[in-house]
Structure 1
Amino acid sequence: MSRGPRPSSSRRSWGTDEDGCSILHVDMDAFFASVELARRPQLKGLPVIVGGSERAVVLAATYEARAWGIHSAMPMTVARRLCPQAVVIPPDMSAYREVSRSVMEILGDVTAVMEQVSVDEAFLDVSGARRRLGRPTVIAERIRSDVRRRHGIGCSVGIASTKFVAKIASGHAKPDGVMLVPRDATVAYLRELPVGALWGVGERTEAALARWGMTTVADIADSDVATVQRAVGRVAGAHLHDLAWGRDPRPVSPVRREKSVGAETTFARDEHDMGRVQTAALDLTDRCASRLRELGLVARTVSVKVRTSDFRTLTRSRTLPTPSDVSRELYLTVRDLLATVDLGGLPVRLVGVRVEGLAAASERMSQPTLDEALALTDDDTHAAGRGADRVVDLVRSRFGRGAIAPGSLAAVGRSELPTTISPTLDLS
């Protein structure tokens, strides 16, 4: 859900010269909400919010809901108060991931030089596809047509000579549009923007620039680089000065490496029972570990986040002696970190788990077969844990995640990940 600053003429044409404009930024419009509307066409035209319980936050909202001031990350209680007539739909992450996978396949058919940056957006370098598919604007319309025909949802496309200008342009093209910023019009286009439109400028950086009298991109461009560096630091200052003049040499990188994997949950009521907090953390850790194994990665750092009833957010992290994707090993660290959090006697509103310092799983960490895992000694807990995880992954791949889930915490101290298998599950 884009809330970035826009120039006063954001929807106007900036020219038709497409030479040198080979980079596209494709961004799905209100992605989660659009997927839900495609499944529930009777809701089109109504304010729709995708979000969880009253204590959760807005994940997506239709443009009809945004007209009421609703935006992503807004507490659901605030969103409901702003627009009490809105239709609220609980999120279906599996459906969104499946549509995302299909959309990325469409983009991959256009060019192999495609960099997915989130579940609903990607950069494409179409310089090698122009002879086959035509001009960038023609390619953009083809993408939008294919996505709408296959999934019934819209997307907006920005076209420019650099990644960051293409991204800004796609936001200005929303909803359901295309914006081309010719290479020769780049600086003029950027000069109309506030500083918050530049990559890397958050509230703190924006305030620091404002103290030096820089509130627009034009102000940064017209200042000497030393002044910008004094405002925000040497590296950041030089970078922002380059962006203000449209200089961004970063290419579209087809391989995107995950930097972290995380999950969190907000309790329906503030939770006083730390046993229940640990149970929730166990499930979150298991989800993170499963995702690591799916991606073929291991993590070196484990972090926990706890938000208390007064909205204080407390974090703790620890570096593992050896990178791991074993659910039990990661959870033991999570459990220890939770024990170090001083709640000040307050109940817990939210708990989260995140693993970072990711690297490719090495061959020496190969998983044993089920027979090998069962034959291991109690001392070989790491290998046994990987064997147990493999069984869990196999069952879930066949019957779904709900078929096997974390169970009693009492088993965590043993070599296997505690799990509960549905008694009605047919494993034959």
Structure 2
Amino acid sequence: MSGRPAVLCLRFRRIGGGPPDSAAYEGLLALLGAFTPVVEAAPPDGALADIGGALRYFGQDVAGLASVIRVRALALHGVDCAIGAAANPMLARMAARQAAPGTTFTVPEDETAGFLAAKPAAALDGVGPATARTLCGYGLDSVGRIAAAPLATLQRITGVRTGRDLWERANGIDRTRVVPNAAARSIGAERSFPRDELDPERHRRALLSLTEELGARLRADGQVCRSLTVTVRYAGRSGCTTLTRSRTLPEPTAHSAALTALVYRVQDSFALQRARVRGFALRAEGLHDAERAAHQLSFDPVDERARRIEAVSDQVRAKFGPQAVKPGRLAA
């Protein structure tokens, strides 16, 4: 990576398992800030750091600096790190997925093609199941084959912009940069029932209204969230009982349908089919600018149509108020 910015992608895990709590996470970001001002939070358990200047300042190579960071994270916060190192954020993230806890996986610039060649198409940023199936249908089932395909061929298959993005990523080109930011904030909303509610359909409608509200707020602010925390209050033997669970989204999003699908899965995991529910609270966490989010490329016409309808609905709400447009399930 000589002569190129060096990027680290760090994945944090507490000793014994699980992501760090919010206080430890903020401390880890501050730790990285002691080495470089170019640190991008990726809550709840990750971060990117451009250490190009730090390597020269501290007189260390990538492995040496990563080792120092890992030792300090363990000593100060009880958190171990799996670290990926590469020339750009995309490659660093891919390297981090191969790094075991307590190790650094480095992708030298002259070994990028070999690192990528045998990986499945779905390993690339932005390639989800639908896109991968389409590519596999044309025999482009690996990153190496995508990289070797003529750009014009990829553009005929997937469209001009998507085809160029695919070709560049398959060849190790990532035009994004590490963007310094603070630990991402969160937004929340809650719904309470006038009396203990047993009806599962009313539970679902309350959760749907929460995801619709948070999705609209995120889109209006030009933000996406990385994870959701769901809290349910219900009547127990000793009064009101509270359960809270957090889940990470497959990709940062403000798309209400994606938020709703995840929230419903979390609700099902509570296994409270006969519970007398008093209320729900939902918090969107790991917020950052939508323009900097990596989006999964999709050929699903249903999803694309839903996103276009969502955009039009947002315009109507902006003009006539938040209640001007709502899902049919909430209109009853």
TM-score (norm 1): 0.48
Q: After superposition, what is the alpha-carbon deviation per residue over 1:16-74, rounded to whole angstroms, capped at 9, x for unaligned?
A: x655351111112xx4xx3xxx4xxxxx5xxx7x7xxxxxxxxx8xxxxxxxxxxxxxx
Change (3 A) 1:240 1:260: farther
Q: Does 1:109 align with 2:34?
A: yes
Change (3 A) 1:255 1:210: same
CA distance in 1, matches of 2:210, 2:129: 34
Change (3 A) 1:277 1:231: closer
**Aligned residue for 1:222?**
148
CA distance in 2, matches of 1:228, 1:279: 44
**Aligned residue for 1:337?**
326
CA distance in 2, matches of 1:131, 1:19: 11
Change (3 A) 1:234 1:260: farther
| Residue type at the aligned position of 1:23 | V
**Aligned residue for 2:4?**
20
Q: Does 1:251 align with 2:177?
A: yes
Q: After superposition, what is the alpha-carbon deviation per residue over 1:317-366, rounded to whole angstroms, capped at 9, x for unaligned?
A: 6537787xxxxx97x68xx836x31799xxxxxxxxxxxxxxxxxxxxxx
User: Which SS does the other structure have where 1:227 is aligned?
Assistant: helix
The answer as to whether partners of 2:205 and 2:330 remain within 8 angstroms in 1 is: no
CA distance in 2, matches of 1:302, 1:177: 35
* Equivalent in 118, 121, 144 of residue 70 of structure 2: 144
Q: Does 1:319 align with 2:307?
A: no
CA distance in 2, matches of 1:319, 1:121: 31
CA distance in 2, matches of 1:247, 1:231: 20
Q: Does 1:124 align with 2:35?
A: no
Structure 2 residue runs without a partner (length 5+): 192-196, 224-253, 269-305
CA distance in 1, matches of 2:86, 2:47: 14
Q: Does 1:96 align with 2:21?
A: yes
Q: After superposition, what is the alpha-carbon deviation per residue over 1:75-119, rounded to whole angstroms, capped at 9, x for unaligned?
A: xxxxxxxxxxxxxxxxxxxx7222211111111111111111332
User: Which SS does the other structure have where 1:149 is aligned?
Assistant: helix
CA distance in 2, matches of 1:227, 1:190: 20
Higher RCO (CA-CA < 8 Å; seq separation 6+): 2
The total of aligned residue pairs comes to 249
RMSD over aligned Cα, in angstroms?
A: 4.5
| Residue type at the aligned position of 1:116 | A
| Residue type at the aligned position of 1:150 | L
Change (3 A) 1:21 1:238: same
The answer as to whether partners of 1:193 and 1:216 remain within 8 angstroms in 2 is: yes
User: Which SS does the other structure have where 1:154 is aligned?
Assistant: strand
Alpha-carbon deviation of 1:271? 5.2
Alpha-carbon deviation of 1:196? 1.2
| Residue type at the aligned position of 1:126 | I
Q: After superposition, what is the alpha-carbon deviation per residue over 1:257-304, rounded to whole angstroms, capped at 9, x for unaligned?
A: 979956799xxxx95266666766788899x69x99xxxx699x9958
Change (3 A) 1:278 1:185: closer
The answer as to whether partners of 2:147 and 2:167 remain within 8 angstroms in 1 is: yes
The answer as to whether partners of 1:302 and 1:319 remain within 8 angstroms in 2 is: no
User: Which SS does the other structure have where 1:174 is aligned?
Assistant: coil
User: Which SS does the other structure have where 1:341 is aligned?
Assistant: helix
The answer as to whether partners of 2:36 and 2:54 remain within 8 angstroms in 1 is: yes
Counterpart mapping for 1:11-410 below 5 A: 20=4, 22-28=6-12, 31=13, 34=14, 38=15, 44=16, 96-133=21-58, 134-255=60-181, 272=199, 305=260, 307=264, 318-319=313-314, 337=326, 340-341=328-329
Moved over 4 A (4+): 256-265, 273-286, 301-304, 306-310, 314-318, 320-323
CA distance in 2, matches of 1:253, 1:154: 24
The answer as to whether partners of 2:41 and 2:184 remain within 8 angstroms in 1 is: no
Alpha-carbon deviation of 1:221? 1.1
Aligned-residue identity in percent: 25
User: Which SS does the other structure have where 1:175 is aligned?
Assistant: coil
Structure 1 residue runs without a partner (length 5+): 1-16, 39-43, 51-59, 61-94, 324-328, 345-428
CA distance in 2, matches of 1:107, 1:254: 11
Alpha-carbon deviation of 1:233? 2.0
**Aligned residue for 1:81?**
none
Alpha-carbon deviation of 1:222? 1.2
| Residue type at the aligned position of 2:39 | M
